[in-house]
Homo-oligomer: A and B are copies of this chain.
Amino acid sequence: MAHRRTITGFSNPLVKFLRSLRDKKYRKREKRFLAEGLRLLTDARESGVVPEMLVMATGREPHPLLDALEAAVDAAGGEVVEMDQEILAKVTGKDNPQAVAGVFAEFDTRITQVDRSAAPIWLVAQALRDPGNLGTMLRTGDAVGAGGLILIDDCADPFSVEAVRASMGAIFTQKLAMARWDEFLPWLRSGPGQLVAASLRDPTDYRVAPYQAPCFLMVGNESQGLPEAYEQSCDLRVTIPMRGRADSLNAAVAGAVLAYEALARLGD
């Protein structure tokens, strides 16, 4: 087993560094993010993504999944750090001897990295503000076999602890891209691709709309929906029936209802 750095003091700079990754400003500066929990890190490993640094408690009980993580980090030339359980609890907010955290390099999120031919369905979110919704959309994308999630304009940070957690590991399997609308639309029009807006204005029922692959399903901001000008640039505007008194669904729910309809029509 490789040499292990062991942290025994709360004031160690590494503890401060790990805690700083809960803050978007520091994540941007360090180009690193934090994922926590054995299940999430195992999901990452099984998807071929290994943390640069793995942080575990000293004196933990042995666990085969922890052993597998350690071995993967060692094999990839990463660092394994052990710290007292109370210190690790300060990092993760969870006082649990199986607590574990990983530091990952942020992914390349340029829109030009997206290979649209890789999947029949892509999810697109515009000005999505809630990190839980963002992570849930990644999770849904994985479930429908989408290629990934494209974030338009100012969205929540997909590398926040909350978004990573809500993605249930899909942040490691779904392609993630971020672009301004003025950058996204020319990219989309530079190749095949049907852009579909979840609209509150258009009467085309989502159950009868003519979806075509690659199909980019776009939902808007939680409060505002999509700007009307954006909708007008879409190839198709579809509406989900609303039978109650409210006029909209949760954004991640709307994305999922459309994504499953598109899967039923375009899948296989």
Contact = CB atoms under 8 A, between A and B. Distances in A.
- Chain A's interface size range is 35 or more
A243 B144 contact: yes
A111 interface: no
Given A142-B244, A244-B145, A244-B173, A136 B250 contact: yes
Q: How many copies of the polypeptide does the oligomer hold?
A: 2
Contact of A246 (B170, B246, B264): B170
A242 interface: yes
A145 B256 contact: no
A134 to B, nearest CB: 12
A189 interface: no
Interface in A126-145: 132, 136, 139-145
Contact of A168 (B136, B241, B246): B246
Contacts of A141: 244
Query: Lowest 8 CB-CB distances: which A-B pairs, in order?
Result: A145-B243, A142-B244, A253-B256, A136-B250, A257-B260, A142-B246, A143-B242, A143-B244
24 contacts: A43-B246, A46-B245, A47-B245, A136-B253, A140-B249, A140-B253, A142-B243, A142-B244, A143-B240, A143-B242, A143-B243, A143-B246, A144-B241, A145-B244, A168-B248, A168-B250, A169-B245, A173-B245, A240-B260, A243-B263, A243-B267, A250-B252, A252-B253, A253-B253
Given A249-B256, A257-B257, A257-B260, 7 more contacts: A43-B246, A46-B245, A139-B249, A169-B245, A169-B246, A173-B244, A253-B256
